[in-house]
Amino acid sequence: MSEYLLAAGDRPLFEWRWVERNADQIVQRLGEHLALTAAALAIGLVVSLALAVLSLRWRWFYAVALGTAGALYVIPSLGAFALLVPFFGLSFTTAVIPLATYTLLILLRNIVTGIQQVPEEVREAAIGMGFTRVRLLLQVEFPLALPVVVAGLRVAAVTTIGLVTVTAMLGMGGLGFFIRQGIQTTTPNPTAIIVGIGLSIVLAVLVDALLWVGERALAPWARKAGRA
């Protein structure tokens, strides 16, 4: 690595000129970053919902699913990507599989916890009104569990956005691309590094806030998101 250590000179740490000159690319990389995040969260949410439905049916299944998700969560991101590259190459697929996998633990746990938190009398009232099992889940249990689910989704989103930068190590795009420029070019570019990190944090905070606003709109009765 030391061959890159040519004097970085007196280049200022941050140059607006660079940002202006690369505005198009910044927008493009932001888009890539968001696309990967959205895909990972969508896949994670669909899989978690399916697992949650099965978990609510059978207790043993929940233990197994949660244990598996926990073990998968432990896998270092670089290791997961390394495992997939020989089979899927440096591709969107390679990047999205681990990212989606990391969301399973928290999403599954929060969905199940949220639904279990629904008071028994609410359930009984709905059944007394003639709700079927499916309608009960879709129209009563899931809406009431929403605050807890969104709390999990927010954590998953913030974590995923941070992890997407790692995919730059496999030569993928996203904001990590700018961070990587810090070591790829013979004259490291501090502005690119700072833009990559800064936008990644801004994106995480924005998405977090957006999900919170969305939850408020969808579940106005929930003053405070539940803890899971």
Among 205, 210, 213, 218, binds other proteins (CB under 8 A): 205
143 token code pair: 């809406």
18/37 Cα distance (integer angstroms): 26
Q: Between residues 1 and 217, which has the closer beta carbon with respect to other proteins? A: 1
208/19 Cα distance (integer angstroms): 25
Q: Please count the CA atoms within 13 angstroms of the CA of 143 that sit on its side-chain side.
A: 12
Q: Between residues 47 and 109, which has the closer beta carbon with respect to other proteins? A: 109
Binding mask 86-125 for other proteins (x = CB under 8 A): xx-----------------xx--xx---------------
Residue 15 as a binder of other proteins (CB under 8 A): the answer is no
- Phi, psi angles (nearest 5°) of residue 107: -70, -45
99/151 Cα distance (integer angstroms): 18
Query: Cα 6 to the chain's mean position, in Å?
Result: 37
Q: Which residues bind other proteins (CB under 8 A)?
A: 1-2, 4-5, 8, 71, 74-83, 85-87, 105-106, 109-110, 151-152, 154-155, 158-159, 161-163, 165-166, 168-171, 175-176, 179-180, 182-183, 188, 190, 193-194, 196-197, 200-201, 204-205, 208, 212, 225, 227-228
